Structure 1
Amino acid sequence: MTRLIRELSEISNEYDALFVDLWGCMHNGVTAFPEAVAAMQKYRAGGGKVVLVTNSPRPWRSVADQIAEFGVPDDAWDAIATSGDSARLAMYLGVVGQKVWHIGEMFEADFFQPMELLDAPLDVTVVPLEEAEGIVCSGPEDPLADPEIYRPQFLYAKQKGLKLLCANPDIVVDRGEVREWCAGALAALYTEMGGESLYFGKPHPPIYDLARRRLAQIAQIDDNRILCIGDGIGTDVMGAIGEGLDVLFITGGLAAQEFGPDPVNPDPMRLKMWLSEQNLSPTAAISFLR
């Protein structure tokens, strides 16, 4: 039975570390949530460790710079694990070949920057689709455009037998009041068409392995003392449960409309019924992280 709480402090003393989603939990893609920042600062002041675990396709240092601009200060977290870093590790090990076709926005070019975790990374080159041995998708070039626009290229890629590395399994995110498509939507389309997509962010195991590695660099903490926090039922919640980790579901994020007209006060019965339909049972739920 999922416990509905009002503040993180109601359960935080049961855990020594938090794996915290960013978009929808700590910020809305434009600005930080002050109460969420204060909750992380309070938790860390009490000795807890905070690892930000995000499906962002960016390297962790780029994410750190981005969230600082949003208003998430350095004293609200200890480490960052990104889907991008997890995917980059696989890319530089050669899972989609040496010559790749990149789908993404211009600012995501830092996906191809050197990676410190590898001594001898593969020399990966970005090439046109016709010359590619594989595909790297960090996101759609236009996050507002229907993913179906990639169907012709994906048909060609599937016929060539190219694998698609998905750097962000999220289907959509809300940037302020605007809903945008993510790399996961393109990977889902490619898979639906018969292509092979490789995932490295939540809910898939590689990003949790990376998060544990980041945590181990600062503290040795058992899994039963880690709480995951996120608003994505098919990413944050499903991934945590799959890893055997406790999870706090943020109801005021992507699924806020499911729980009544007031996002601050989700209807307990609607929440119970919706979670039953999802066939998932998070440890606890809270409207917004605070």
Structure 2
Amino acid sequence: MPTTLLQSNLPGLELIHRGKVRDVHALSGNRLLIVATDRLSAFDVVLPDPIPGKGEMLTQISNFWFGKTAHIVPNHLLHTPLEEVLPPGTDLQLYRKRAVVTKRLKPVPVEAIARGYLIGSGWKDYQANGSLCGIKLPAGLRQAEQLPQPIFTPSTKAAVGDHDENVSFDAVVAAVGKDLAEHVRDATLAIYKWAAAYAAERGIIIADTKFEFGTDEDGKLYVMDEMLTPDSSRFWPADQYQVGISPPSYDKQFVRDYLETLDWNKQAPGPQIPAQVIAGTSAKYAEALQRLAGITLE
């Protein structure tokens, strides 16, 4: 059965970051222990109710994609057994499918987003000015329409509770330098194109996705954090896709759509989530994991 974990509790391990979903602990040897909890964020606000098993599903699907794309860009995974790093007395079953040991990298301070379809904040920006992150798009595009080619549309990395903002490629160059900015852009698009083709063979459209990158002491670039999960991507069932509407999805759009019905200003604290929405969200994540990776959590 899937486990439920709202936040990690690992006495003796230094907690260096508690994000929207992941808790990050320091390990010896310039390593990290990253724990994917069952917290759910929407509109950059952490909601009060966990989604049971969500962190396990996120970790399993990330690990699947990390393995599949290692030939394109190296990733942060070290494959160290958890038994070697968890404090004595820790419930191993609680962490086995949701925790990984990784390299400790210097994060690139940008959300690296690839978009193949016009949806979400990209659709809103396009409606406002006909462009996205400084990229002029053809006139007359409709909601959820496929773009002529995938584009790199970075955003700022906001602190917990703040909102990410779409920025131009020039802003990324100004923040990290031309060489690194181009490397991140090229890696983002390369992974997206490969994964989109893979998912398409399984009846799933990856409309867009977000990556995070880091560099080691030699400046080598790695993809890190999570990869192509329902938290960081929009997955659409191809057989239900149509242009002009927000398609049904295998991601937290299920929760976003519910939240849009509420009189909520999208600021913390977030509202309680009904049990049927929690169950429906869990089912969406589980179906994505099974269809993309062939993995079923039991």
Common fold, TM-score beyond 0.5? Answer: no
TM range (shorter): under 0.3
Larger proportion of helix: 1
